[in-house]
Amino acid sequence: MSLNDPNWGRNAGQKSDSDQGSRRPKSNDGPPDLDELWRDFNRRLSSLFGGRGGDPGNSGGNRPGTPFGNPFGSNLNAGIGLGVLLALMLLLWLGSGFYIVQEGQAAVVMRFGEFRELNNRAGFTWRFPSPIETHELVNVQQLRQLEVGYRSNVKNKVLKESLILTGDQSIVDMQYAVQYRIGDPQAWLFNNNPGPQPEEIIRQSAETAMRETVGRRQIDQVLYEEKEQVAKIAQKLMQDVLDRYKAGVSVVDVTVQQVQPPEQVQAAFEDANKAAQDRERLINEGRAYANDVIPKARGTAARLLQEADGHKQRVIAMATGDASRFESVLKEYAKAPQVTRDRLYLDTMQQVFQNTSKVYVDSRNANNLLYLPLDKLIQQVAAGSASAASAAGGGNAPAAANSVAQAPAGSSPAMEPDPRPRSDPRENLRNRERP
């Protein structure tokens, strides 16, 4: 209905016949009438909430005789329906704030995009619905793994990540895996790029730590000697880098899956490695021989030194003993010169006879002891010499001619009588002393 309508203020029954006769079906070429749309909406809403749908010519069941019908009844029904609809929408909106936190997860609650709280209690909880508050669930117990230098299999290499320069200007092809957990969900969400690859910061930190660790060592240490130690040092350095960037990540382990020279130089590297092993083997053999010979030579030298020192001490001791004995003999000679001379003579003859293989017997005295065994004869003669030497101190001259010298063991001494008569030297000495 418009103000320009000629039937403004008239009832529907007061319309002229000319107007009624002039009604024709409206063309669909023009835009839809907004009044018709509004009336149709009111009829549908009234029928939905129990109102009577009135005449199509009357909006909202208008009474005849009133130009505009009853607008208050139609608006009341529409307001009730709209209020119920709004209440239902409000309940649904408030119900969207409930969420569930699983065991091992943590919920980061954000209010208008700003961090509000961290909820790590498992169970059913509520927050203000979106867009006031939102939440993000993060699994803090899951052990995640990141592959560096390969994807899914060590054969699927990523040379951009795996080729590393060592300290001796060599290149190694290394594939390793990093296992980590999210320790701080807030730092993980707000200090990283939450894009399609949030673990890119971990990958770059792992490459940085491993390249620095390998770059300080030689290729043999990386391949053989310090393979496990390289992984541990890289893990510690990687954790330091992530803590410096506040990434909220805890590195659990770094495992070296495969490390080898590049395929292009692997054959030459194996030849060089064999040559180095041969060199080490020869060096070890030389060291083993030196360790065997040098201690023996040192032991022999020490033994010779000890023997020489023992010989020195023995000679010194013998010389000292001889000097002491000479001094004691000199004192005795001063007291009794004759007795001392006789004793020296007898001792000298005993030493001379001990070093000869012959047995001297006095032929002037027939002695049946010649038929005795030789060892018995030597023992008797030795005993007689000892008694004669002890009696020499009393002035009695023993029979020195009957003394017998013992031959060395193993030799067969022969007894040869001396045909020349022997005189007692002590008798000659006595004759010399007589006037």
Task: Please tell me whether residues 154 and 257 are part of one structural domain.
Answer: yes
Task: Please tell me whether residues 157 and 251 are part of one structural domain.
Answer: yes
Look at residue 397 in the predicted model and tell me its pLDDT. 40
Task: Please tell me whether residues 304 and 322 are part of one structural domain.
Answer: yes
Q: Into how many domains does the chain fold?
A: 5
Give dist(CA 252, CA 178) in Å, integer.
Answer: 8
Q: 80 in a domain, yes or no? A: yes
Instruction: Kindly indicate the confidence band of residue 319, based on its pLDDT and cuts at 50, 70 and 90.
Output: very high
Give 48-63 pLDDT, tens digit per residue. 655 544 444 444 444 4
By mean pLDDT, which of 233-242, 299-308, 331-340, 352-361 is the weakest? Answer: 352-361
Element (H, E) at 300: helix 266-335
Label the pairing between strands 171-182 and 414-415: unpaired
Give dist(CA 219, CA 148) in Å, integer.
Answer: 19
Task: Please tell me whether residues 292 and 323 are part of one structural domain.
Answer: yes
Look at residue 371 in the predicted model and tell me its pLDDT. 45
Look at residue 353 in the predicted model and tell me its pLDDT. 76
Task: Please tell me whether residues 172 and 252 are part of one structural domain.
Answer: yes
Give dist(CA 117, CA 109) in Å, integer.
Answer: 5
Task: Please tell me whether residues 150 and 251 are part of one structural domain.
Answer: yes
Look at residue 341 in the predicted model and tell me its pLDDT. 87
* Last-in-domain residue among 314, 335, 356: 335
* Last-in-domain residue among 302, 335, 368: 335
Task: Please tell me whether residues 148 and 211 are part of one structural domain.
Answer: yes
Q: 79 in a domain, yes or no? A: yes
List CB contacts of 209: < 8 A, sequence separation 6 or more: 234, 235, 237, 238, 241
What's the gap between Cα 100 and its chain centre? 43
Give dist(CA 429, CA 415) in Å, integer.
Answer: 29
- With 70 as the cut, is the pLDDT of residue 32 above it? no
Q: 3 in a domain, yes or no? A: no
Q: Which range of residues forms the domain containing residue 331?
A: 265-335
Mean pLDDT of 404-425: 42
Q: For all residues of the chain together, what is the average pLDDT?
A: 75
Instruction: Kindly indicate the confidence band of residue 233, based on its pLDDT and cuts at 50, 70 and 90.
Output: very high
Q: What is the DSSP letter of 405?
A: P
* Last-in-domain residue among 235, 261, 287: 261
Task: Please tell me whether residues 201 and 301 are part of one structural domain.
Answer: no
Q: 187 in a domain, yes or no? A: yes
Task: Please tell me whether residues 251 and 161 are part of one structural domain.
Answer: yes
Task: Please tell me whether residues 173 and 248 are part of one structural domain.
Answer: yes
Q: 83 in a domain, yes or no? A: yes
Instruction: Kindly indicate the confidence band of residue 389, based on its pLDDT and cuts at 50, 70 and 90.
Output: low
List CB contacts of 128: < 8 A, sequence separation 6 or more: 97, 111
Q: 14 in a domain, yes or no? A: no
Between the alpha carbon of residue 199 and those of residues 21, 86, 146, 206, 207, the distances in Å are 79, 44, 8, 11, 13
Q: 226 in a domain, yes or no? A: yes
Task: Please tell me whether residues 313 and 355 are part of one structural domain.
Answer: no
Task: Please tell me whether residues 327 and 299 are part of one structural domain.
Answer: yes
Please give the backbone phi and psi of residue 364, each rounded to the nearest 5 degrees, phi first. -75, -25
Token digits for 1?
Answer: 């209905």
Q: 6 in a domain, yes or no? A: no
